[in-house]
Amino acid sequence: MTNTEKPKHFIRQIIEEDIRNNKNEGKVITRFPPEPNGYLHIGHAKSICLNFGMAEEYNGKCYMRFDDTNPGKESEEYMDSILSSVRWLGFDWEDRLTHASDYFDRLYEYAIELIKKGKAYVCSLPADKMREYRGTLKEPGKNSPYRDRSVEENLELFEKMQAGEFKEGEHVLRAKIDMASPNINLRDPVIYRILKVPHLRSGDKWNIYPLYDYTHCLSDAQEGITHSLCTLEFEDHRPLYDWVLDQLDTPCHPQQIEFSRLSLNYTVTSKRKLNQLVDKGLVSGWDDPRMPTLMGMRRRGYTPESLRDFAERVGITKKENYIEMSLLENCVREDLDSKAPRAMAVLNPLKVVIDNYPEDLVEELEAPVHPQKPEMGNRKLPFSKVIYIEKDDFLVDPPKKFFRLAPDKEVRLRYAYIIKCNEVIKDGKSGEIVELRCTYDPDTKSGTGTSTKKVKGVIHWVSEVNAVEAEVRLYDRLFTKARPDAEEEDFKTFLNPDSIETIKKALLEPGLKAAKPEDQFQFERLGYFNVDSVDSKEGTLVFNRTVTLRDSWAKIEKAEVEKK
């Protein structure tokens, strides 16, 4: 999509309006603020593309900020993987890698300021009482008995909380707002709690840690964020975001703007749920190619370009919506179609012996690497007496419109000759077809043959000469329900038992011997595949099917719609 074709979604409109009005001196500064407590998923890609994308488009800057306020749940491993996923998607934070923890000192000073202004107090209610005092959606809350502690007492207690003099849960620091507010987020929310857990970056310096709502707006303000773009669940938190900034003398007051989360049919996009799949061994790991994580998608062969295109196409709105898997796959297909070299692979090989082909002859046939891109050059395919075709390209008793191989029928072998099937050899015991005896017509050689013979079917094949054996993994949707997490039962009960099919011994054309991890190909008639970067070893390649050639979702989705 070129820039002029990009839809002017509401956030673009707000930003352009702000630039016109010279708000923030016309600057656009955004941030992507993940918590390093898991790996990124396709939903995060939407947020990354939006935050980095808006900065890029409007000559601004985007911060890569870790929201690291939950020591114990966070790790370096997650941080590294998050950074590598953002980089892989094609974005660059330059020197703007920050952490909420970079501001811990400043946040502490701000808390003291709030206490001094009588806008925060130390509350000593136990957790269950505090919950009780909070009220409900229908009933207002009640003031904590500690709400009117003096500034001096609050300062002293808060300092002792940090000095480690209390146990976890004994006291918290709360903002003093309004226990009767219809917005529960404003009912004196906790802004600091005692947590005696060392922090990845600040070590054991802190015995108290700030909560998300307090931390986030102040971190935004420290960085001069102009547009703080977040998902819709934070809409009700916006009054708190604004309240904190209004009480304090911060460098600026960023504008929080919410948009709807990305949800994809037939999968789940929640770190917590994805974590369960990994923990329970229901997938091979966070980078299992069936996972909607960026690591999984990368391993499967989804390209950064296709994910960015997808993020643009799903658009930015305030409406909750589920996106069809076919939209994502179409983006992948479109991108790979233009760049993936072509190759032939036979997943379920059936041996074909060409009786009239000379025993020792091996011809080198030429085929384009990409039929629409002559600049990508040609590849060589050996042709010989024994070749393999796909088992399901042959039927003993074919229906009328079956244009592939059948007894006494002819078919063209892609980039080679027309062959005719004369005899079917079956296993004496099982009756399984184990070999076909065919003859070829030497005048029908692709490109140079003189015969005018025409056949309807063209099938792919691989010669036994230098064929490469490989494992190939085919994937289907991870869940059998469009919205596994919207059902009454546990989402895991809807895992698709057939989401992976492993083919142990596929045969590939010889050129693929040199394929490297992550290399991508279109296997003619079968789809787009890549070399698995984890399980491939020197000499034994493993391929993933990234996506089929045609939209196999359309049928499933149509059936679902009809059921409703």
- Interface residues with ligand ATP (CB under 6 A) are 33-35, 43-44, 46-47, 230-231, 261-262, 269-272
Catalytic residue selected from 27, 46, 61, 271:
271
Find, among 393, 366, 363, the residue nearest to 379 by Cα.
366
Token pair recorded at residue 480: 């059998």
Per-residue buried b or exposed e for 16-46, using 16+ beta carbons within 10 Å of the residue's own CB: eebbeeeebeebbbbbbbbbbbbbbbbbbbb
Q: Return d(Cα 119, Cα 116) in angstroms, integer.
A: 7
Give whichever of 336 and 482 is closer to ligand ATP, judged by the CB atom: 482
Select the binding partner of residue 46 from ligand ATP, Mg ion, none (C-beta < 5 to 8 A, by kind): ligand ATP
Nearest approach, Cβ of residue 237 and ligand ATP (Å): 11
Select the binding partner of residue 44 from Mg ion, ligand ATP, none (C-beta < 5 to 8 A, by kind): ligand ATP
Find, among 155, 154, 181, 194, the residue nearest to 243 by Cα.
181
CA 198 to chain centre: 31
Select the binding partner of residue 379 from ligand ATP, Mg ion, none (C-beta < 5 to 8 A, by kind): none
Give whichever of 35 and 551 is closer to Mg ion, judged by the CB atom: 35
205 among known catalytic residues = no
Give whichever of 33 and 484 is closer to ligand ATP, judged by the CB atom: 33
Which residues, numbered 22-61, are part of the site for Mg ion (CB under 5 A)? 35
Q: Return d(Cα 507, Cα 502) in angstroms, integer.
A: 14
User: DSSP string of 291-342?
Assistant: SSBHHHHHHHT--HHHHHHHHHHH---SS-EEEPHHHHHHHHHHHHHHHPPE
Give whichever of 36 and 349 is closer to ligand ATP, judged by the CB atom: 36
H or E element at residue 386: strand 386-390
Give whichever of 270 and 276 is closer to ligand ATP, judged by the CB atom: 270
H or E element at residue 557: helix 553-563
379 among known catalytic residues = no
Select the binding partner of residue 262 from Mg ion, ligand ATP, none (C-beta < 5 to 8 A, by kind): ligand ATP
Catalytic residue selected from 261, 339, 391, 420:
261
Amino acid at 557: E
Nearest approach, Cβ of residue 38 and Mg ion (Å): 9
Nearest approach, Cβ of residue 98 and ligand ATP (Å): 14
Residue 156 DSSP SS3: helix
Nearest approach, Cβ of residue 229 and ligand ATP (Å): 7
Nearest approach, Cβ of residue 66 and ligand ATP (Å): 9
Catalytic residue selected from 16, 35, 56, 235:
35
487 among known catalytic residues = no
Task: Please state the φ and ψ torsions of residue 110, each to the nearest 5 degrees.
Answer: -60, -40
Select the binding partner of residue 33 from Mg ion, ligand ATP, none (C-beta < 5 to 8 A, by kind): ligand ATP
Query: In the complex, which residues of this chain contact Mg ion (CB under 5 A)?
Result: 35
Active centre residues (catalytic): 35, 261, 271
